[in-house]
Amino acid sequence: MITPTFNPCIITGACLIFQGKEICIRGDLFLQGNQFIFNGCFGGTDVEPAWEDFHTTLRDSARTLILGAGSHYFQRRAVFVIPLESLSFEKEVFDYFKDGLEGTNYTYSAHTKKLTLN
């Protein structure tokens, strides 16, 4: 029998920007091993993600995540599974959730703006 593990949300109300597509989506960010799980908001159909125009969306810089153009990810409805190396963010985003990573093997590089699992 597999015992499920609970991974708390590390950022609520985050804004995931899809670089090169001019769109973004709001949602919550979770961390599971070597990947992020972003649970985005649904549109009116409860099937399609609630996409927003990147240029007109107001966002908190301490909760803004950037998915690089050409990055690999898995999407099912408004849930995105993203490898650690595909998501970048400013240090203030890391400062927002770093307390939740104490005692783990994750490190943040201000140079690459990415989180790594050591």
Model pTM score: 0.88
- Do 73 and 83 meet the contact criterion of CB atoms below 8 Å apart? yes
Domain-by-domain residue ranges, the chain?
9-117
Exposure string for 43-64, b = 16+ CB within 10 A, e = fewer: eeeeeebebbeeeeeebeebbb
What is the chain's pLDDT, residue by residue, as a tens digit (118 residues)? 565 566 778 999 999 999 988 899 999 999 998 999 999 999 877 778 999 988 877 667 778 999 998 899 999 999 999 999 999 998 999 998 888 788 888 999 999 999 999 8
